[in-house]
């Protein structure tokens, strides 16, 4: 029996797959932005679960760091939706940038005045270079009626941009994943503060760049916060891989290691996976590890398919399903009765409830990142093939 190398497929969250397909064109486009710090551009990556958003974001972070940008990264979660938590996260990230800048050898002679000016805005850290040291109590800085977050961020970003120009860094990138959880709350303009401060410093040519990534609701969240947000970002919408990229994502990694898939196996996996990158990686990994021949046959797929689906159901799908309440699950099953999305009218008919009765449930599901509005009066799942999972799974 042939001892094959370890599986070349990588189905984990945010892990680089062995084949990126047409994502290379998107990377090249952003690389061009990163090379011109005088005209900073913001990037927004969006799409359903499992399409490779975080993989692309990680690639872009690597590109930015390789080209000399100071990258401050963060992955948001639902608790960060609280306005104070989000504001504190932003100020913490400003401090992280200042800490990195405080170590710049090129700022040795000018660190005292420039860094102190930036630190005074947020009052939040100890920075040092040699004998130079500034300490400020983080607990002293709290948003109040006489301190506007957008003004603080604008001033801090301005200082950071100027510091970057005098250091070895091209500029600063705020690299934020799962950003769809962040939305504007009435009376707490935190998201709009980030956008307005970023726009202001970019208009002055300072090297600051936002690199955001999230599920489809992120687009609406940004637009509701600032109407001009659509003009601030170059938006990369990721979906399933198209032929022939989808087939290459399955076939090429195996070919490089001396194995191949029978054509009918490739055809079947494309149908099962819908061309979604994560699912292709799951199938490829299971077929590689669960078969032994040089050619992976349809019999291997038939034998392994139940196990593959059970793995996806128990992990990828159920982890999302259990976050929903009883009423939310009922509504999701109503959607699944029509496929992967349904109109509001269809949901009213299926649930026997009026529009004003189902809207709070829809809003709750959107806040949890489980559904989104692909178009007016239509609700869809944020996870590909989630409707099929619900149809084959008892409550």
**What is the reported pLDDT for 118?**
65
CATH code for the part of the protein at 324-392: 1.10.10.10
Domain boundaries, the chain: 23-238, 245-320, 324-392
Per-residue pLDDT tens over the stretch 157-170? 998 999 898 888 99
Sheet of 172-177, strand order: 70-75, 172-177, 208-214, 42-47, 233-238
Instruction: For the chain, give the percent of residues with pLDDT over 90.
Output: 70
Say what the alpha-carbon torsion angle 157, 163, 168, 173 is, to the nearest 10 degrees: 0
- Report the alpha-carbon angle 175-183-220, nearest 5: 90
| End-to-end C-alpha distance for the chain, whole angstroms | 43
Separation in Å, CA 38 to CA 33, 43, 201, 230: 10, 16, 11, 21
**CB-based burial label for 241 (10 Å; 0-12, 13-18, 19+):** buried
**What is the reported pLDDT for 99?**
85
Half-sphere exposure of 308 (CA within 13 A, CB side): 23
What does residue 49 show for φ and ψ, rounded to 5 degrees?
Answer: -65, 145
Q: Count of CB atoms within 10 A of residue 162's CB?
A: 17
Q: Count of CB atoms within 10 A of residue 140's CB?
A: 8
- pLDDT at position 56 over 90: yes
Q: How far is CA 227 from the centre of its chain?
A: 21
Least confidently predicted of 59-63, 146-150, 291-295? 146-150
**What is the reported pLDDT for 124?**
46
**What is the reported pLDDT for 138?**
40
- pLDDT at position 136 over 50: no
pTM value is 0.87
* Token pair in block for residue 195: 């956008």
Alpha helices (H) in 11-127, listed in sequence order: 23-34, 53-66, 83-101, 111-122
Pairing of strands 371-375, 378-381: antiparallel
Q: Which CATH superfamily is domain 23-238 in?
A: P-loop containing nucleotide triphosphate hydrolases (3.40.50.300)
Per-residue pLDDT tens over the stretch 273-296? 999 999 999 999 999 999 999 999
Half-sphere exposure of 126 (CA within 13 A, CB side): 5
- pLDDT at position 89 over 70: yes
Query: Rounded to whole angstroms, how far apart are CA atoms 20 and 23?
Result: 6
């Amino acid at each position: 029996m042939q001892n094959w190398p370890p599986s070349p497929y990588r189905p984990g969250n945010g892990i680089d797959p062995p084949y990126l397909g047409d994502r290379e064109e998107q990377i090249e486009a952003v690389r061009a932005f990163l090379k011109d710090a005088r005209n900073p551009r913001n990037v927004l990556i969006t799409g359903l679960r499992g399409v490779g958003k975080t993989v692309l974001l990680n690639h872009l972070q690597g590109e930015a760091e390789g080209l000399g940008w100071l990258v401050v990264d963060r992955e948001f979660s639902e608790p960060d939706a609280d306005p104070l938590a989000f504001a504190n996260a932003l100020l913490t990230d400003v401090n992280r940038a200042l800490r990195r800048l405080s170590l710049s050898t090129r700022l040795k002679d000018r660190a005292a005045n420039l860094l102190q000016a930036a630190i005074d805005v947020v009052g939040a850290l100890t920075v040092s270079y040699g004998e130079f040291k500034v300490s400020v109590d983080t607990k002293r800085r709290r948003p109040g009626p006489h301190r506007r977050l957008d003004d603080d961020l604008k001033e801090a970003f301005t200082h950071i941009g100027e510091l970057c120009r005098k250091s070895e860094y091209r500029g600063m990138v705020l690299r934020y994943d799962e950003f769809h959880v962040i939305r504007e709350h009435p009376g707490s303009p935190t998201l709009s503060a980030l956008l307005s401060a970023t726009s202001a410093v970019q208009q002055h040519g300072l090297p600051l760049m936002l690199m955001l990534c999230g599920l489809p609701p992120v687009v609406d969240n940004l637009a509701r916060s600032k109407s001009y947000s659509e003009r601030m970002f170059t938006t990369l919408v990721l979906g399933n891989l198209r032929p022939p990229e989808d087939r290459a994502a399955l076939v090429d990694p195996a070919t490089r290691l001396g194995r191949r898939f029978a054509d009918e196996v490739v055809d079947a996996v494309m149908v099962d996976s819908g061309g979604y990158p994560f699912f292709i990686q799951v199938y490829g990994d299971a077929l590689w590890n669960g078969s032994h021949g040089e050619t992976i046959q349809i019999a291997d797929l038939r034998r392994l398919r139940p196990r593959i689906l059970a793995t996806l159901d128990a992990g990828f799908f159920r982890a999302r399903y259990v976050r929903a309440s009883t009423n939310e699950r009922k509504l999701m099953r109503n959607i699944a009765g029509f496929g992967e999305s349904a109109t509001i009218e269809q949901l009213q008919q299926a649930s026997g409830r009026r529009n004003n009765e189902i809207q709070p449930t829809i809003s709750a599901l959107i806040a949890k990142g489980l559904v989104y509005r692909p178009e007016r009066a239509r609700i869809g799942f944020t996870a590909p093939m989630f409707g099929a999972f619900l149809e084959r799974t008892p409550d």
